[in-house]
Structures are given as structure tokens and as C-alpha cells.
Structure 1
Amino acid sequence: MSIFRFPLLVWMGIGTLIISLGIRQSFGIFMMPISTHFDTGREFFSLAIALQNLLFGVFQPFVGMAADRWGAQRVIWTGALAYALGLYLTSIALEPNWLFLTLGGLVGLGLSATSYVIVLGAVARVVPAEHTAKAFGLTTAAGSFGMFAVIPGAQYLLSDFNWQTALQVFAMLCGLILAFSCFMKTKPATTPAGQAPEQEQTLREALSEAFHHRGYWLIHLGFFVCGFHVMFIATHLPSYLADKGLPATAAAMALAYVGIFNIFGSYFWGVMGDKFSKRYVMTALYLMRTVVIACFVLFPVTVETAGIFGGAIGFCWLGTVPLTSGLVRQIFGARYMSTLYGLVFFTHQVGSFLGAWFGGRIYDYYGSYEPIWWTTVVLAFLAALIHIPIDDKPIVRQPATA
């Protein structure tokens, strides 16, 4: 299937992710201006972002269940409202503690209802199984394009206006997500043709089946590492580069490179997942991350090496999403994918919480990011090994007897 023949729902999902994840990935460049405004250390902002990611994950299984039951449209519409409200209230916050409720709680809820789990769950219902990883890769790449498009715009708003104005503009952008959701109506809880056994499966049975599958828990562990990586880098790379004496534009450009190269990387890894065993492709991806991060830590940090790192890590940044969601779809089917992948994504967000928080905690304690950088290298190598023993064969269920 050509990508140009994907249903309209896929393209509306892409538009949703461009805005939702583009805004989310820009929060790292707000650390220093917001910390300066409220006269707090980096750990405070890091904790607010960490809480956002943790709640992003906590809400995920519940919004996934809601999407499986009532469809993606209502969930995305609700999430867009929460996202916009959280951004606006953050921009008018009078006390730093407000950020835990606004940037942490409301934005976390908005993200959970407008990002990968909901969008990919909807896509899985309209795209044939043999093209799932490709469709997931293209949809995932959209979030990266958002990163490429939004971060330079955010940097411009910060330079020419202030961080409050930037967040208010982002709040208005969430209105476009409301418009896109109008075209994302799906039939709740449908079952693909030819999969009669799934039709009779209840949510409780699906959860029990997944919880007793060893590969499902290995998928959780691998995605935990992914979350730790991406949120540590997205949150702390700008500050790390500033500590090395690089201008703010270098950090914005490095993150923009992460976004633009991930457009190609996400689609590439998705296509590879359709052609080869997804678990082995995941192993290759994490081995690449291991090498890229280790080289970045070992070599001198300059504007050029920051850009190269952004491009290299971007190529394997969110390639885990089409592969991880594809594994869940491949093993357990599409019927309860939003719920099962939502639980996996919760584990991802636990990793994101720790990555964002520990980055600030370790910096404030040691005055250096070096220990956390080497931790990410070790975790990347372990994640590469974790995926090898996963049994990725689709579960064969016996038809229910009358």
C-alpha cells in the first residue's frame, strides 16, 4: 500500500501529532527562562516536566480504554481542551507551584489523549496488518516533523517576546487539534475481518493474556529505556550545551535536527519492521543509540558535534514507537491495542519521569551531567539485549464455543 493511499484518518492523526508532540518536545528550551523567572533551580522545572511525563503515562491506559470503547474522536477532542488550558494557565502562573498542576497535570492529560497511543490505535483499525509498521512509522515521523517545525518557532517567540507569549501561542495551536479530531471518527471496539476469536475476547481476558506473556513485559522494559533517553535529552540537552559555552541557537538547532532526522528514521525503522523481525530491528536500533550517545560524551562538545549528535540520535529517536506498537499489534491483535499499548506507554513515561527528574537532580548534586550521560549508554546496551528473547509470534486463540 502506497502512503498516498492511506485513509484520511491517518493524515488527520499526523496533523494531531505534529502539534501535540511538537509542543511537548520544545519544553526543554523553556527550562532556563522559566527557572530564572521564578528564581528556582533546574531541579524544580525538571520535576514539573517529570510529573507531566509520569501523569502522561498514568492517564494513558485509561484514555486508551476510553478510545477502545468510545472511539478516538472524543478522546482527542477532550485532550486538546486540557492541553490548551494547561499551557495558558502556565503562562499566567503567579507562583512556581502552579506548574505542577498546569504544566504537569493538565498538559500531561492533554498529551495522553492526543499522542501516539490514541492515534496509532485508530490507525490500526483502518490499515491492513501487513502495512501496520509502515503506517505507524509514517505517523510517528509526524511527531518529529512537529519537533522540527515548532522548536525554531518557540525559540523565535522566546527571543522576540517572552516565554508567556510562546505558551499562549501554543495554546491557540491546540485549536487545530480540535478541528482534526472531527475527521477521526472510528467505530468503537471493531474487530478486523477474519479474526472471529478476538471478537469474543473481553478486556479482562485481553489483559490476563498479555500479563501472562513474557514478551509483553520485555517490551515494557525496552520502552522504559526509550522514555528515559528521550526525556532526559529533550529536557536537559539545551542546558548541557549552554554549560559547555554554546549559544542558545545551537541547542535549538540540535533539537530541530533531532526532529528532522527522526522523520526519516521513524519511517525507516517502521519499514524495516515490516520487512524483518521487529525484535531484531529493535536490537539494532538500541545498539545504534549506544554508539551515538557514547561518542557524543567522549568527543569535544562544539556547535558542529551538537548538530551531528542531534541528527544521529534523531535517526533512532522514536523509531522505537512503530516497532513497539507494531509488536503489540502483531502479538495481540488490534482489538485492544490502545489499552495494551497504553500500558506499555505508561512504562515509557515512568522512564521519562526518571530521565527528566534525575537529570536535574544529578546536575544540582554533582554540578555535572556526566554521570547521567553514561547511565544512558549502559541502559541503551541493556535494551538492545532485552528484545532478543521476545516471542513475537501472533497468539492463536480458539474460537469461543456456543
Structure 2
Amino acid sequence: MNDTTKQRTALWLVLLAAAGTFALTMGVRQTMGLFLSPLNTSTGLGVASISLAFAFGQLWWGLTQPFAGAMADRIGAGRVLLAGAMLVAIGTFITPFMTTTWGLVLAIGILAAGGAGMAGPAVLMSATMRMIDPARRGLATGIVNAGGSFGQFALAPVAAALIVSTGWATAMQVMAVLVLLCLPAAWVLRGNSVHAAPAGQKPVGTGEAVRGALRHQGFLLLAAGFFVCGFHVAFLATHLPGVVAACGLSEQWGGWALAMLGLFNIVGSIGIGWAVGRWRMKSLLSLIYAARGIGVLLFLLAPKTGPVVLVFAAFMGLTFLSTVPPTAGLVAKFFGTANMATLFGMVMLTHQVGGFLGAWLGGKVFQATGSYDWVWYIDIVLAAAAALVHLPIREERPRGVARAATA
């Protein structure tokens, strides 16, 4: 086997490990909505109480990522991924035994969601970038990002079939065991920030890197844009079936709309990963956010038929999480890969804060007005603001912030 073949094999092994881990952890996490009704029937707690556990999990998933990233930069990505996968499996496995609201918050909101955060984009993207040649990082992060959508697309039917054939409790525990299939990836993705530093040099400490990032205008603008992404994504993921129902269409159209959203997200993630190596990342981000706003505006003006809903869902899928590769790429370009997990985790936290508001505000507005129109108006304004806020970003690596100190 020549050197070129070895390099290609190593590249695909890293991508398989990272994308496979994201597919399993995100796929299992995204199927939990299928268990909401059975949980309600079994526990009698009420949908509102059970939803609290799911909502807390959304926020906790984001809160864990900066800390998981800091741990990965310090002790190695492999150990953090191992712990994260185990927590997802444990939290999911014990959920059927929980009969109180706080028990569900512990199992779903803390253990499973926290574990998914530890094995989430911050750690996976940084580990991938550390191990792959810079020229291939854009496409690589697109493939890893697509792994999460593929997991949702593939595991949701599996979970639904298991619920019908074995019952919801057994189905949930089978899903917990499936997560353990990603454990070998922890060995493939092992290593920490020391391995990302050039020979004879050591990386900037975590505290210094964080302080430098918080003083960097481009990083703050990037985080602001990702906040808007979280708002948009969480609103769609949570309320798209409700939007379809409000249009007077059957539940079948809502299910197909979600499927189109996930399927075209795979296409969008890989496509934008390819584009990252060819165009300026800040320009791609501005284009994505502008496209979202235009897509929502056209949907509001269009007749609300089933085919229109599917076309809208497919278009939104193309832009759904396609912001992740260029956002991760800019963080790496600003500061290098030594503290990538920590810094990208901070950006992911702003994403989830926006996501919490998008999911919560969608329900509040619909309850108050009987329509989602005002949320769409807010989404259009935010998309326009995000498109503009990326334009002043300077893509060159700032001096002093990401420097390596001589050992």
C-alpha cells in the first residue's frame, strides 16, 4: 500500500468515525419525540411536564459543549467521546424507569442530552480538523455534519418500527444499545490540542484563547449569526408539523415535510462543505442566511398546498445546518485547531440559546394569536440581520490571539 492510499484510508476512517458518532448520538436524540406520547400514557405526567425534560435537554446540549470542548483540548477527544456515548446510552436506557418529571429531566435532559453534547459538533469538528489536511477540512466538516442528519433520517423509522413490534420501553432501550456502536470511534479520534501544535511548540492555554476570542470582533459577529441559525432551526424542527396543520393540511404532509427537511440537509451540508474550499466562508454564510429569509417570504406569499410545503421544506433543508461547516471553518481560521473544541463549543452555545428562544417563542406566539405569522416575520428580520452581520468579518487569522508560545 503506497503513501497516497494510506492517506486516503486514514482520511475516510476519520470521517467514518466522526460522522458515524454524530449519526448515532444525534439520531437517537432526535427520535425521542416519538416516545413523548407513550411516555405520557405510561406516566400520566402530562405533555407539558414531559416537554420540560425535552426543552431542558435542548439547552443543556448547548451548555455542555464549551466545557466538553475544553476537556477535549486538554485530555483528548477520545476520552470525552467515550464518556459522552456512555452517558447517552445510560440516560436513554433508564428513561422507561422514570415515573416523575424530575426523573425524566435527569435521564433525558441531563444524562442523554449532556452525553450527546459531549459527543457533539464541538468535539467532533475539532477532532476532524486536527487530523485532516487544511485543504480538505471544508468538505470533511460537511460530511461530518451530514452524519447527524443521516442518523435522524435512518434511525427514526427504526425507532418507530421497534415501538410497534416490541413496545416503547424496549424500543428505547434498544436505541440506547445502538449508541454504543460508536465507541470504537473514540480510539480513532483520540488526541488533544498538544497534537495540533507544531513540533517544539505548545498551544495557547484555554483561558487565554477564550479571552482572545471574546475580544475578537469576527468571532463575536460569527456567534451572533449562529444565534440566528439556532432560532431558525429549532423553530422549524419543533413547529413545522404545526405550521403544516395550521395550513389545513393533514398530518401526513407534516411527516413528509420533516423527512424532506432532514434529507435535503444532507445535500446542503455536503454541498456547502465542498463550497468552503472554493469561496470565502463569510460570503457563503451571508448567502445562506439571505436565502433563508427569501425562502420564508416566498412561502408566506405562496398558496399553502401540499407540494408547496414539500418544496419549502426541501429548500429549508438545504440551508438547515449548512451554516456549520463555514462557521467551524472560520473559527479554525481565526484561532487554529489547538483550542478549536472550546471555541466552537462557545459558538454552539449561542446557537442553542437561539434555539431555545425559537422553540419557546413559536409556541407562545401561536397560543396568543392562533398563527405562526409573527414568528415568520421575526425570522425574516433575523435572517436579514445575520446576512449583513457576516460582511464585516475579516477572515485572516488575528495576530497574538492564536499564536503558539515557544516551549
Matched, 1:86 2:91: yes
Cα distance change, pair 203–210 in 1 and its aligned pair in 2 (3 A): same
The 3 A distance-change label for structure 1 pair 371 and 148 is same
Task: State how far apart, in whole Å, the 1-side matches of 2:334 and 2:238 are.
Answer: 33
Identity %: 37
- Decide whether the 8 Å contact of 1:22 with 1:148 is kept in 2: yes
> Which range is displaced more, 386-395 or 357-366?
357-366
Which one-letter code corresponds to 1:146 in the other structure? G
Q: Which residue of 2 aligns with 1:286?
A: 289
Q: What residue in structure 2 maps to residue 189 of structure 1?
A: 194
Runs of 5+ unmatched residues, structure 1: none
Aligned position for 1:218: 221
Moved more, 253-262 or 60-69: 253-262
- Out of 276-285 and 290-299, give the one that drifted further: 290-299
In the other structure, the counterpart of 1:126 is 131
**Equivalences for 1:3-402 in 2 at 5 Å?**
6-31=11-36, 34=39, 44-158=49-163, 163-193=168-198, 199-397=202-400, 400=405
Q: What are structure 2's unaligned runs of at least 5 residues?
A: none
Tell me the amino acid that sits aligned with residue 296 of structure 2: I
Q: Which moved more, 1:32-41 or 1:294-303?
A: 32-41
Report the more deviating stretch, 81-90 or 278-287.
81-90
Cα RMSD (Å) of the superposition? 2.7
Query: CA distance change for structure 1 residues 99 and 296 in 2, over 3 Å: closer, same or farther?
Result: farther
Q: Distance in 1 between matches of 2:42 and 2:369?
A: 24
My pick for the range that moved more, 142-151 or 239-248, is 239-248
How far apart, CA to CA, are the structure 2 residues paired with 1:399 and 1:184? Answer: 23
After superposition, what is the alpha-carbon deviation per residue over 1:288-325, rounded to whole angstroms, capped at 9, x for unaligned?
11122233344344432332222111111111110111
Letter in 1 for 2:233: V
> How far 1:14 moved relative to its partner?
0.9
The alpha carbon displacement at 1:209 in A equals 1.4
CA–CA separation in structure 1 for the residues paired with 2:41 and 2:254: 18
Q: Structure 2 counterpart of 1:304, which letter?
A: P
Tell whether the 8 Å contact from 2:194 to 2:203 is kept in structure 1 after alignment. no
Moved more, 169-178 or 136-145: 169-178
Rate the CA distance shift 1:313–1:165 in 2: closer, same or farther, 3 A: farther
Number of residues of Structure 1 aligned to a counterpart in Structure 2: 400
1:167-221, Cα deviation, whole Å (9 max, x unpaired)? 2232121111223323322255323448x77x35222221121111011111111
- Alpha-carbon distance, 1:39 to partner: 6.0
Larger deviation, residues 94-103 vs 274-283: 94-103
Cα 1:65–1:34 change in 2 (3 A) is same
How far the C-alpha of 1:155 sits from its partner, in A, is 3.8
Q: Is the 8 A contact 1:262 1:318 kept in 2?
A: yes
The one-letter code matched in structure 2 to 1:237 is: L
Partner secondary structure for residue 196 of structure 2? coil
Give the TM-score normalised by structure 1.
Answer: 0.90
TM-score of the aligned structures, taking structure 2 as reference length: 0.89
Instruction: Say if 1:32 and 1:221 are closer, same or farther in 2 by CA, change over 3 A.
Output: farther
Q: Which moved more, 1:235-244 or 1:53-62?
A: 235-244
Structure 1 residues 352-361 or 133-142, which shifts more? 352-361
